[in-house]
Structure 1
Amino acid sequence: MADQQQPPPQVLLVTFASQGHINPSLQFANKLINNGVHVTLMSASSMIHQFNKASPVHGLSYAYYSDGYDHAFQLSGDTNHYLSETKRHGTRSLREFLADQGTRFTSIVYCTLLPWVATVAREFHIPATLLWFQPASLLNICYHYFKGYDAIITKNIDDPMFTVQMPGLPPLSRHDLPSFFIPSNPQAMPLFTMKEHVEVLDQETNPRVLVNTFDLLETEAIKAADKWYSMVGIGPLMPNLAETSLGGDLFKVTKEHREMEWLNTKPETSVIYVAFGSLSILAKPQMELLAKGLLETGRPFLWVIRESTDEQEKDPLSRLNELKKLGMIVPWCSQVKVLSHPSIGCFLTHSGWNSTFESLVSGVPMVTFPQWVDQGTNSKLVQDVWKTGVRLRQNEDGMVEAGEIKRCLEMVMGGEEIKKNAKKWKDLAKEAVEEGGTSYNNIKAFVEELTNK
């Protein structure tokens, strides 16, 4: 009698309810599926139905946990409350789901901001692995903070001259550290969530973290973590432009890809791309200064301005007609496609990790304008470690003047050394995911381990 074929490994991939987490989750799922793994993607029921999903994918199914907002997507509200409610409701609904069919899962992979998933997985004796969507450097910063650096950082966080040196990291000022380290920051909840992540890792034997990075990009940070946990670079977790079966946009893309047609009319590396992610919205006065700075460069630009629910922020920019003559304004677009277009010469970004990584992979230099969470850290790495961009300087009132915006854009658009570095990281990222590359091999090793369980 012929041996029965071994069933494929079953992975439950639990991800947070935001655009910046859903997209890399889908790309990670795709890599597992391509290696013979069946993936069940679980996210909050309040938003997973909003995906602009294409046709069904063989090897991928969906499940939902409750975040307390099952009929209305509320992430743009009080983040602290949302994270708390997600943990409370999600823990209960995940327990119910695993009690019903958990024994079929070989492993659970849980993503950033969901450490409670690992606790539930342990209750059901299912191995759990963290999939970290920020740079390896940020996890190291958080780990060191809770292992003795919290006192010195808290004591000196208001000192503009303060810097701290942690293993495997460059010297970090208060502006380079995560915003949730600042006691006065209203979005403090991520600090407690990060502490939970560290505590969960401490409870594991030989903990491993899959990271959306690649080994050569963060060599020192990855090496420095070896004493506490193993970091495994599996990135970049970005869609192949030819791959249309997997994708989840929570915002409507502009009709008929008109921005791509517009970009096709522009010379190579001539366009400034401006976007601030799926959560950050600049205040109206800063938007006016940004508009002024863009106009003063005289360069074409593609600016993503999401539609605001705040009535005060719906007022049109004072120089809107001038802006439309020089550039194009859209409510949303496919960022990976835009950054891959040859006309793009610079990315003015909030420097969230997905945007930063996508820019690195596309070889596009950056002007960074960090707002909160990990964005200051990412900006530090862009400017001082990878040297692919510059960071905007704020004035005493916390505003960035139009002249500063113009200065940095001109510096990056004309900076040959910055362009050279951008190309270097683009080439290295490509090598990492090709057959035999470090990220390619790390994914293969993870799948092999699943198969042998």
Structure 2
Amino acid sequence: MGIPHFLLIPYPSVGHVNPLMQLSHVLARHGCKITFLNTEFNHKRANTGGDDELDNPKEPQIKFVTLPDGLGPEDDRNDPKKVIFSLKTHMPDMLPKLIQDINALHVNNKITCIVVTINMGWALEVGHKLGIKGALLWPASATSLATCDCIPKLIHDGILDSDGNPVEKKEIQLYPNMPMMDTANFPWCGLDKTVIHHIAQEMQTVKLGEWWLCNTAYNLEPAAFSISPRFLPIGPLMATDSNKSSLCQGDTTCLDWLDHQPPQSVIYVAFGSAGVIDEKQFKELGLGLDLLNKPFLWVVNPCNNNRENTSHSDEFHGSKGRIVNWAPQKKILNHPAIACFVSHCGWNSSIEGVCGGVPFLCWPLVKDQFVNKSYICDVWKVGLRLDKDENGLVSKGEIKKKVEQLLADEGIKARSLKLKELTLNNVVEGGHSSKNLKSFISWAE
């Protein structure tokens, strides 16, 4: 049999590019050939460090190619509706020629499989017409994948209306042994109805992919895998990826700072690549961290182009805290100085926190983050939730109280370390995810 040649095509956002980049490194280490397709805009953004951050001479089997996203410099690339429909309109006509050019360069090692993230199902259609195998890499939890796959059933059962909006706000259990979900927190809630219809249509399109790869582990959400034989846990991908794979460049000086802090003393605060809290809440969080009188590392992230809060950062430095624009989160969460993780509970952050064995303080902001919080607090029992007051704020007093409660809870600390061990066992030789990945690679040849 030949060596599989994968064409990997992420939706152009950090939460999609990073896990697919992690998969590319894992596949490369198994001897596979990788062509990674970025939009021109994203490729330039990833390479702003002066040298080509993405070209990795240690892994020459990973090559990068680009196509334009169809958007102009004036267009808002943080608007999912605009980006999704521009990609769908412009890229499908250009992809066959790109595949033809790649195959002409690799006559004896042509593309054997296309792997996309969600919103890029059109590429599976192109591949299908060309006789190329396909798969989906779902960048969030398997539970959120199951939820999106259930949109037709939820409409049929009267839980959603025909536009995908909840008929009433209530808690439901999607499948046995899954956490309860609030219908107001479905992953698509608050999105334009055309985007909701796109998601429902996309879930049908990606059925052209024989496998729906999940960046998760069987032990984390076993109930989700009983839903479809198509679901294949191959994670946590980040546990086996030691390479640069982020669109935002990290401030590594914070690691030197962490080296000078006592063990399990630092509160790490980060809300992901797109998490935004308003000015009032930002100040309240800063005051809460000051009240604790403990060292903290706080990421105030410019990657989402929201700079409204950064001007206030200096108010909270004191002698205890350090505020950075972006940080090498995986390394931070594995640093012995970290005591806990104040997180928005995005899936990538949740997985990284689990693999670091770090207790969580959960502060979900949108979409699937609420069900991830339910796993962390109610199923895995490795964190506590932060509650809002009558004004809709997480108060400084609540922050102080919950951090102190978390740091005093030896049971949560012990469960966090146990969950880390169980989860990392999936990616060692002979582990559940490791076996799945090898089966997938054999199928793709």
TM-score by length of 1: 0.87
| 2:186 pairs with one of 177, 182, 187 | 177
Quickly say closer, same or farther: Cα 1:150–1:79, change in 2 above 3 A.
farther
Contact 1:176 1:380 in 2 (8 A): no
The answer to whether structure 1 residue 97 and structure 2 residue 98 are counterparts is yes
Give the letter for the 2:319 counterpart.
K
Quickly say closer, same or farther: Cα 1:124–1:360, change in 2 above 3 A.
same
Q: Secondary structure at the match of 2:317?
A: helix
In the other structure, the counterpart of 2:67 is 65
1:226-245 alignment runs, 5 A limit: 226=228, 229-238=229-238, 240=240, 243=242
- The structural deviation recorded for 1:264 is 1.1
In the other structure, the counterpart of 1:165 is 173
Give the letter for the 1:232 counterpart.
L
- The structural deviation recorded for 1:40 is 0.5
- The structural deviation recorded for 1:363 is 0.6
For 2:75 and 2:253, the matched residues in 1 are separated by: 28
1:218-297 alignment runs, 5 A limit: 218-223=221-226, 225-226=227-228, 229-238=229-238, 240=240, 243=242, 246-254=243-251, 257-297=252-292
| 1:153 pairs with one of 129, 152, 159 | 159
Quickly say closer, same or farther: Cα 1:348–1:28, change in 2 above 3 A.
same
Contact 1:113 1:190 in 2 (8 A): no
Give the letter for the 2:143 counterpart.
S
In the other structure, the counterpart of 1:3 is none
In the other structure, the counterpart of 1:333 is 327
- The structural deviation recorded for 1:289 is 0.9
In the other structure, the counterpart of 1:379 is 373
| 1:316 pairs with one of 305, 312, 315 | 312
In the other structure, the counterpart of 2:49 is none
Partner deviation per Cα, 1:295-349 (whole Å, 9 max, x = no partner) = 12222100011247557545325xx345332211111110001001011011111
- The structural deviation recorded for 1:418 is 1.4
Quickly say closer, same or farther: Cα 1:176–1:379, change in 2 above 3 A.
farther
Give the letter for the 1:167 counterpart.
Y
In the other structure, the counterpart of 1:306 is 301
The answer to whether structure 1 residue 354 and structure 2 residue 363 are counterparts is no
Segment drifting more, 36-45 vs 386-395: 386-395
1:114-153 alignment runs, 5 A limit: 114-149=120-155, 152-153=158-159
Q: Secondary structure at the match of 2:341?
A: strand
For 1:81 and 1:142, the matched residues in 2 are separated by: 20
Contact 1:98 1:124 in 2 (8 A): no
For 1:28 and 1:72, the matched residues in 2 are separated by: 32
In the other structure, the counterpart of 2:117 is 111
Contact 2:134 2:208 in 1 (8 A): no
Q: Secondary structure at the match of 1:439?
A: helix
The answer to whether structure 1 residue 198 and structure 2 residue 206 are counterparts is no
Quickly say closer, same or farther: Cα 1:45–1:151, change in 2 above 3 A.
farther
Contact 1:46 1:72 in 2 (8 A): no
Give the letter for the 2:39 counterpart.
A
Contact 2:26 2:240 in 1 (8 A): no
Segment drifting more, 185-194 vs 271-280: 185-194
Identity over aligned pairs, percent: 29
- The structural deviation recorded for 1:90 is 2.2
For 2:103 and 2:72, the matched residues in 1 are separated by: 22
Partner deviation per Cα, 1:105-151 (whole Å, 9 max, x = no partner) = 11111112322222222222211111111111111111223223565
The answer to whether structure 1 residue 79 and structure 2 residue 88 are counterparts is no
Give the letter for the 1:90 counterpart.
M
Quickly say closer, same or farther: Cα 1:55–1:35, change in 2 above 3 A.
closer
In the other structure, the counterpart of 2:31 is 36
For 1:189 and 1:409, the matched residues in 2 are separated by: 41
For 1:73 and 1:299, the matched residues in 2 are separated by: 42
Contact 2:239 2:355 in 1 (8 A): no
Contact 1:54 1:247 in 2 (8 A): no
Quickly say closer, same or farther: Cα 1:49–1:349, change in 2 above 3 A.
same
In the other structure, the counterpart of 1:210 is 213
In the other structure, the counterpart of 1:26 is 21
Contact 1:8 1:38 in 2 (8 A): yes
Partner deviation per Cα, 1:373-417 (whole Å, 9 max, x = no partner) = 321121111111111112222234432222222222222222222
Q: Any stretches of 5+ residues in structure 1 without a counterpart? A: 1-5
Partner deviation per Cα, 1:417-448 (whole Å, 9 max, x = no partner) = 21122111100122111000011111111112
Quickly say closer, same or farther: Cα 1:60–1:189, change in 2 above 3 A.
farther
Quickly say closer, same or farther: Cα 1:93–1:412, change in 2 above 3 A.
farther
For 1:144 and 1:34, the matched residues in 2 are separated by: 35
- The structural deviation recorded for 1:203 is 5.8
For 1:349 and 1:82, the matched residues in 2 are separated by: 27
- The structural deviation recorded for 1:154 is 3.5
Q: Any stretches of 5+ residues in structure 2 without a counterpart? A: 47-52, 105-109
Q: What is the total number of aligned residue pairs between the two structures?
A: 428
In the other structure, the counterpart of 2:428 is 434
- The structural deviation recorded for 1:200 is 2.1
Q: CA RMSD in A?
A: 2.5
For 2:433 and 2:285, the matched residues in 1 are separated by: 38
Quickly say closer, same or farther: Cα 1:311–1:265, change in 2 above 3 A.
closer
Contact 1:15 1:42 in 2 (8 A): yes
For 1:73 and 1:31, the matched residues in 2 are separated by: 34
In the other structure, the counterpart of 1:49 is 44
For 2:115 and 2:409, the matched residues in 1 are separated by: 41
For 1:388 and 1:55, the matched residues in 2 are separated by: 36
Partner deviation per Cα, 1:236-287 (whole Å, 9 max, x = no partner) = 111657x3xx323322322xx2211111111111110001111122111110
